[in-house]
Structure 1
Amino acid sequence: MLSLAAIRFRTAAREAARNRDWITAVKSYQAYLVRKPNDVKALVQYGHATREAGDIEAAVAAYGRALDITPQAAEIWFHLSHACKRLGDRSAAIDCCARAAELDPTFAKATEELLALGARDRLPFGTAVDGASATATPSGGHIDHVPFGSGVYPPSRYDAFRQQVSIPAPPRPVSIANEEARPTMVLIDARSALPVEVRATLSSLLDQVDDRWQAIVYAPAVISSHSVASLAAIDPRIRFVAVDTPLPGVADAPHVLLVRAGDMLDRQALAWFSFAAIRTDCVAAYCDHDRAVDDWRTGRTFMQPAFQPMYDPEWFSDTDNSPALLFVVRTRLPLFDWPWGGSCQILHEAAAIGAVVHLPLLLASRKILAAQADQALTDPPGPATDLADPTPARDRQIANQPPQAIQIIVQTRDEPAMLKAAVDTLRHRAARADLLEITIVDNRSVEPATARLLDRWQRGKVATTLPLDEPFNWSRANNLGVEIGTAPLLLFLNNDTEMLSAGWDDMLRDALSADDVGIVGATLLYPDHSIQHAGVVMGMGGGGPIHEGVGRRIEAGPGDRWRKPRSAAAVTGAFMAMRRSVFSEVGGFDALQFAIAFNDIDLCLRVRTAGFRIVMASQILVIHHESKTRGLNTTRSQVAWDLDELGRMHDRWGSALFDDPAYNPHWTHVGQPFDGYRIPTMQEVLHRIDLAAQPTPWIPVIGAEDPV
């Protein structure tokens, strides 16, 4: 039985909580729990009150005490997950939320939170998400068949996903010109291939729905005496040509498909490439692929998908990212040196002429030898061949040019120690600190320590201070900062950052030296060195731009993307560099419409509209303490403001907020980027093909409706 004092304290606590007087609520619950320490409901409410009062560690302790008493309470595990998330412990938050979902598989909020945390793999067996179970059944069998265009699978279940993929036929073209109806010439590079790899590719050709093809197997003469060469006697479309021998018939072929022996084509591959050529009048086209190993007992297992972006000169400067299949309209791009020039080099040459189309379809699988064959004795050496793709690094045209000065605009409101760390690490890790023009926009600082620091920097010519006695407007402050500088390069930087990369300024100059690059971003890390920003992805969830890679390890990412330079839809303004000329051309930040939020995204979209690309200089690593000066947006007023500015973004950009040339439609749009596989709808495939066929495919297509 409760004492009168306990009843009084509990009543006071509940009343204070209703009035959102969290300090009083905390004190009252503390007094009550002294008398009733095992009251689980009170412990949970005390956890809520301490969390709202800002004492997250006390909230974690309160929820933990409640779980010691009732460890099977899914809702309390969920509350503990939220508290751990507030503390920045993503791993603990995932563990707690997974426990809540395990205890109650119907707990929808736990499922949603696991997806938001990027932990689709931790969903319980059989959880329904986006039309499909989250993983395999406990018995290990595959989930039920998923129709084309639905279902999301976690990354650990790629093979289960891939087994459900059945590539549909392309829409029937209205007409096919005589030239386009001629056979496609398939050139198979077998210079260092095993006969079994040659057979795998030829078998997939023989299975094509579109049988209008001819094939040349370019291989050492020794293969011509192998049994695999007998296929040429069976099917006249196949020819074997010895290395260093001219390739017959290529000059007359309207289309050429470049293939490496061992790459197995989906039976609809040639049909889709022909369709894309007719629909878009492209110069070249490529597709997605994965890897596959065959076992005569268990069948084919798929792994390591390569879901490509739309043509990106940064991404395809790395030959590891070469597409498995490259379709070329030979009449528009003569192939003098193929295959010795390398598929990435051919992509760059094609893009200089016209459209390079990405088909977001898994039209090829690269054969991996079964372990028993791979571990057998090595074959005798054949003729020496050089399979290296000689694609050169992109010419930045910076040789013999003096390094350009960089104006760095940093906004601050006090926080002198943090500001000092940001500026000091920039200068100490720069290759040319003498070429850094640092502008501090001081927005109503009041601490004497801040004034002393800024005065010392001013006198020592370390930085120039621009006092700004106005309400906070991030866009206006940056615009004013730019006006007092003269350096040809600009860097907008948060004051809650610390530079990690030595020579970062030279990396930035290199990334900005290409004429078609408008903005460059960097990889931002939390203090524990997990990722905070590795580019911005458009079209996730309700359409708001979000950071990719959040909470992941820096060395992770599909195709090692978080360590490679690549184009992006947008980057964060916490580290955003550009040429002054580009900033002036697009009119700077929009201080009227986007004072606080989405100003960086809006600028990126306007820069892309002007014909420039946004590039992630992933090798530049920066610690970002994230909003330490202004704080995170959590109050009703702050969240409402953000939503209003997101609405303004949609009014201005429409469907451009949902199109991301860097984000393959095989990846989920629910939860976190790259957190699951899905099969694109036919409408999405056609939309992607049409976007890629635009003269400048990275320019946003503005519209009032979301893309189909």
Structure 2
Amino acid sequence: MQRSIRCARRAMVNASRTTCRLPRTPSSCQGRCWWRCCWSAGLAQSPVAVFRSSASMSGCSRFLSPVCFSLECFSMPCWSPRPGSWRCATCWLQTSWLQCFSQCCCLSAFAPDVRRCVRGPPVAGLQDDRCMNKENFSPAVIVTAESAESRLRREAIALRTEVEIARARNLQLEIHLQQLVASRSWRLTAPVRWAGRRARDVRTLLRVARVVMRDPGKFGGISELVSREWKASGARGVGKALSLIANGPGDAEPIHHVHFLEFSDRLGRELREDMAQWPRRPKVSILMPTYNTPADVLRQAVDSVKAQIYENWELCIGDDCSPDPEVRELLDALAASDARIKVVHAQVNGGVSSATNRALELATGEFVALMDHDDLLEKQAIYRIAEAVVAEDPDFVYSDEVIVAADGEQILGFAYRPQFSLEYLRSHPYIVHLIAFRATLLRELGGLDTSLSISQDYDLILRTVERARKVVHIPEILYRWRTQSDSSGHQQKDRVMESSRKVLAAHLARTKTPGEAAAGPAFNFFDVRYPLEPGLKVAIVIPTKNHGALVRQCIESIERTVSGIDYEIVLVDHDSSDPESLAYFDSIRGRHVVLNYSGPFNFSAINNWATRQIASDFTHYLFCNNDIEAIEDGWLGRMLELAQRPETGAVGAKLLYPGEEVCQHAGVGVGLYGAAEHYGKFMKVHLPDGSIEQGYMGGMIVNREMSAVTAACVLIRCDVFRQVDGYDEQLAVGFGDVDLCLRIRAAGHLVVFCAHALLIHHESISRGKSATDPHPEDSVLFKRRWADLILEGDPYFNPRLSSTSTRWATVVDASPKREVHRRVVALR
């Protein structure tokens, strides 16, 4: 055997020293591609077939066509400063087209025709006429024996060859592009292309103008956004910002492939530099339950863990007695390949929860993350977890994720989550992946509930937040969630809903929260009803000037839809002069309170004054515009259910435009359009098929905490209102409600949006609409006061969502960044 190898190497060296002179014709070539090029590339160590020949180009092509060769010199016409040049794809030798083909061609032994020879006699020649032109070739073929090492070496050679071929093809495309740009037709059509670009620009500007005409108050925010983009990115940034404003989410550039999430080498270096400054590097254990996982899928999952830039991790795999013996063999091989990978095999099948708990028994890390056996981690995932542990000392951490198809590459959607919201979690299990727990806390909880085969992760998260001191949200995609059509969650929706409802009911019982969990308006959404406490009393404050018919509609709709609640309507008449309005106001004095206010219009001052005039036995104030119309029974009760909780300061309602088909308010996002704007504005409340519009991750149909709600209809606890000194009277017209909500949150209370309190808002009928910002002084004061929050971003609005859209449009750039602003919530 050793003698055969020496003979093969000697034959290859001799062949490399021979130069053939070929006729100077386009179909023939001559050239030198020295054997030392192959030797330096490591080709001399692999089993090869060596050919010494004098052949025409056509003969070489016929010979090489059925095999995969390692050194490829091919006749691809390439443009260069010297006409008629050729490029060698592997050695990158550029010569004239008369010097193209190499004499020594190393054939990969795994090619189909050569493989047949390997299976034949120890030394065999290629006898297939399809592979040889006998007139042009007189080959001396020596094939050495295969081994595991040689196969790996050949694969590496083949991969290098593919890279070089791809580079050559890329060069060809670049050349064709240069030829196209230099062509006469391209120059002649330049005016047409210019006109098309200008037409698109005009269309974008017209759409932006329409947005401003619809709501003139957005002009200031759009101007600031354009100015900021101009300073940051110049004309390109301005164009991108205007396009997002004009087109909205429907026309936003779609993201279809995970290359938008690429982790750059530069970012890796930057994060390692930051890591060097950490005072410590906590170990993170990753728990992965497995059961009959396809080998390629499992390898990809494990490889994504091994590719982490943060190296102080351990992967604890709990196999749930997989009947496929290949799974056990693969798991054992993975454990043997890396000391950080631990595997435990169950003797009986116990389910996902049992397998995860067995993996937890192996864990030695300070923090524990959960990962499914068919999903993938982004390269910085464990780094971000460890970074949060070092900086925030949390008990529970969760991140954003991307939903991909079974191939792991095609993007189906994004889960951009807000800051932690308990009411949101009770309405919808919006936290899924990536999740990580303090190991000691997870063990105290007993791990996952083994009695649950569905919704066990939802149960674990609820039990965790019941005892956690601090919850951290990392607003970055750290997890790639493969969707499988055969998962239990897709096939058994009824079981999932019932199991999750029971989990939610158990959570309410453990926390001693009176309430009942019921199915919500869509799959995986729930409606928690809280019984009203005795002694609640609401003062409904309605300021107005004239507009008696509008006030009548508002008051009568309240009287018609509110029952079983102790309330009193307080109408504040601001210097009304219309006789019909005054007559109506006088007619209701017997059953409601009418106060007379005089002075310049100041919405904040009027409401503050009204609260000082009424009795002190009220528990809540409902500030209500005179153009509000109640349309459903029980809306005030739904708001009171949330507002009666001691941690809640204010509750807002879901408002529709007249006609009840278009949403006007589903909460307020601070920073939208440079200041603040309503979520869900101008969105249809029903889809074309008649089903309810959920909004992004249920944003229009769930109760959830947020930064602010509109005062067109807001319920505030009286003691909280007095604690923050009511409305700021410096904000006479605009942003007084948002400012009040932000000060309520700063005082330690929650602001909650109630999706089940539905009313119509006949917006701005009483005061009319302005062609410009109707309250520029208020806008300037608000932006100055809350500049840091506007710059950093609303914690309940994910930074990957567009700040120029009220419809939760996603931002095209989903790539990871060096800095991430974590959202931290202290629960205790």
Decide: shared fold, TM above 0.5: yes
Q: 1:166 to 1:607 in 2, by over 3 A?
A: same
SS in structure 1 at match of 2:551: helix
The yes-or-no answer on 1:188 pairing with 2:288 is yes
The yes-or-no answer on 1:452 pairing with 2:583 is yes
SS in structure 1 at match of 2:775: helix
Q: What does 1:308-387 align with in structure 2 at a 5 Å threshold? A: 308-331=417-440, 334-340=443-449, 342-343=457-458, 346=461, 349-350=464-465, 353-369=468-484
CA deviations 1:530-587 (Å, max 9, x no partner) are: 111111112233x211112111022142112111111111111101111101001111
CA deviations 1:144-190 (Å, max 9, x no partner) are: xxxxxxxx986764434753222444353245566x443x2222355
Q: 1:453 to 1:352 in 2, by over 3 A?
A: farther
Greater Cα offset, 317-326 or 405-414: 317-326
For 1:567 and 1:551, locate their aligned partners in 2 and report how far apart those are by CA, in whole Å: 22
Q: What does 1:433-448 align with in structure 2 at a 5 Å threshold? A: 433=565, 435-448=566-579
Q: Is the 8 A contact 1:132 1:153 kept in 2?
A: no
Q: Match for residue 500 of structure 1?
A: 631
CA deviations 1:641-679 (Å, max 9, x no partner) are: 612111112333331233301110101223545234143
Q: 1:348 to 1:270 in 2, by over 3 A?
A: same
For 1:191 and 1:390, locate their aligned partners in 2 and report how far apart those are by CA, in whole Å: 25
For 1:681 and 1:211, locate their aligned partners in 2 and report how far apart those are by CA, in whole Å: 22
Per-residue deviation at 1:627? 1.2
Q: Is the 8 A contact 2:396 2:464 kept in 1?
A: no
Greater Cα offset, 311-320 or 487-496: 311-320
Question: Among residues 695, 710, 717, which one is paired with 1:557 in the alignment?
Answer: 695
Q: Is the 8 A contact 2:469 2:827 kept in 1?
A: no
Structure 1: which amino acid aligns with 2:288? I
For 1:343 and 1:267, locate their aligned partners in 2 and report how far apart those are by CA, in whole Å: 26
Per-residue deviation at 1:479? 1.3
Q: 1:251 to 1:671 in 2, by over 3 A?
A: closer
Per-residue deviation at 1:491? 0.7
Q: Match for residue 426 of structure 1?
A: 558
Q: Is the 8 A contact 1:475 1:596 kept in 2?
A: yes
SS in structure 2 at match of 1:440: strand
Structure 1: which amino acid aligns with 2:479? A
Question: Among residues 159, 173, 179, which one is paired with 2:275 in the alignment?
Answer: 173
Structure 2: which amino acid aligns with 1:621? L
Q: Is the 8 A contact 1:512 1:520 kept in 2?
A: yes
The yes-or-no answer on 1:278 pairing with 2:278 is no
Structure 2: which amino acid aligns with 1:209? I
Question: Among residues 779, 791, 795, which one is paired with 1:646 in the alignment?
Answer: 779
Per-residue deviation at 1:224? 5.2
Q: 1:367 to 1:512 in 2, by over 3 A?
A: same
Q: Give the TM-score taking structure 1 as reference length.
A: 0.69
Per-residue deviation at 1:191? 7.7
Q: Match for residue 620 of structure 1?
A: 757
Q: Match for residue 602 of structure 1?
A: 739
Question: Among residues 511, 516, 526, which one is paired with 2:647 in the alignment?
Answer: 516
The yes-or-no answer on 1:468 pairing with 2:597 is yes
For 1:553 and 1:464, locate their aligned partners in 2 and report how far apart those are by CA, in whole Å: 37
SS in structure 2 at match of 1:359: strand
The yes-or-no answer on 1:159 pairing with 2:297 is no
Q: 1:420 to 1:359 in 2, by over 3 A?
A: same
SS in structure 1 at match of 2:606: helix
For 1:695 and 1:517, locate their aligned partners in 2 and report how far apart those are by CA, in whole Å: 15
Structure 1: which amino acid aligns with 2:429? D
SS in structure 2 at match of 1:321: coil
Q: Match for residue 802 of structure 2?
A: 668
The yes-or-no answer on 1:300 pairing with 2:300 is no
The yes-or-no answer on 1:480 pairing with 2:582 is no
Q: 1:440 to 1:133 in 2, by over 3 A?
A: closer
Structure 2: which amino acid aligns with 1:578? I
Q: Is the 8 A contact 1:525 1:532 kept in 2?
A: yes
For 1:163 and 1:568, locate their aligned partners in 2 and report how far apart those are by CA, in whole Å: 32
For 2:597 and 2:757, locate their aligned partners in 1 and report how far apart those are by CA, in whole Å: 30
SS in structure 2 at match of 1:104: helix
Greater Cα offset, 385-394 or 511-520: 385-394
For 2:282 and 2:790, locate their aligned partners in 1 and report how far apart those are by CA, in whole Å: 38
For 2:442 and 2:678, locate their aligned partners in 1 and report how far apart those are by CA, in whole Å: 38
Q: Match for residue 343 of structure 2?
A: 239
Q: 1:364 to 1:343 in 2, by over 3 A?
A: same
Q: What does 1:520-531 align with in structure 2 at a 5 Å threshold? A: 520-528=651-659, 529-531=661-663
Q: 1:252 to 1:130 in 2, by over 3 A?
A: same
Structure 2: which amino acid aligns with 1:311? F
Per-residue deviation at 1:471? 2.2
Q: 1:545 to 1:162 in 2, by over 3 A?
A: farther
Question: Over aligned residues, Cα RMSD in angstroms?
Answer: 3.8
Q: 1:653 to 1:387 in 2, by over 3 A?
A: closer
For 2:801 and 2:671, locate their aligned partners in 1 and report how far apart those are by CA, in whole Å: 11
For 2:380 and 2:309, locate their aligned partners in 1 and report how far apart those are by CA, in whole Å: 6
CA deviations 1:46-75 (Å, max 9, x no partner) are: xxxxxxxxxxxxxxxxxxxxxxxxxxxxxx
SS in structure 2 at match of 1:563: coil
SS in structure 2 at match of 1:260: coil
For 2:741 and 2:550, locate their aligned partners in 1 and report how far apart those are by CA, in whole Å: 27
Per-residue deviation at 1:519? 0.9
The yes-or-no answer on 1:215 pairing with 2:344 is no
For 2:196 and 2:571, locate their aligned partners in 1 and report how far apart those are by CA, in whole Å: 48
Question: Among residues 636, 654, 678, which one is paired with 1:547 in the alignment?
Answer: 678
Q: Give the TM-score taking structure 2 as reference length.
A: 0.60
The yes-or-no answer on 1:264 pairing with 2:360 is no
Per-residue deviation at 1:112? 3.2
For 2:753 and 2:500, locate their aligned partners in 1 and report how far apart those are by CA, in whole Å: 29
Greater Cα offset, 343-352 or 570-579: 343-352
Structure 1: which amino acid aligns with 2:448? P
Greater Cα offset, 202-211 or 490-499: 202-211
Structure 2: which amino acid aligns with 1:649? F
Unaligned runs of 5+ in 1: 1-99, 119-126, 136-151, 380-384, 698-708
Q: How many pairs does the alignment contain?
A: 549
Q: 1:186 to 1:449 in 2, by over 3 A?
A: same
CA deviations 1:507-549 (Å, max 9, x no partner) are: 11111132222111111111132111111112233x2111121
Structure 1: which amino acid aligns with 2:199? D
SS in structure 2 at match of 1:419: helix
Greater Cα offset, 438-447 or 338-347: 338-347
Higher-Rg structure is: 2
For 1:597 and 1:344, locate their aligned partners in 2 and report how far apart those are by CA, in whole Å: 43
The yes-or-no answer on 1:582 pairing with 2:720 is yes
Q: Is the 8 A contact 1:187 1:218 kept in 2?
A: yes
SS in structure 2 at match of 1:677: coil
For 2:757 and 2:325, locate their aligned partners in 1 and report how far apart those are by CA, in whole Å: 51
Q: Match for residue 390 of structure 1?
A: 503
SS in structure 2 at match of 1:414: coil
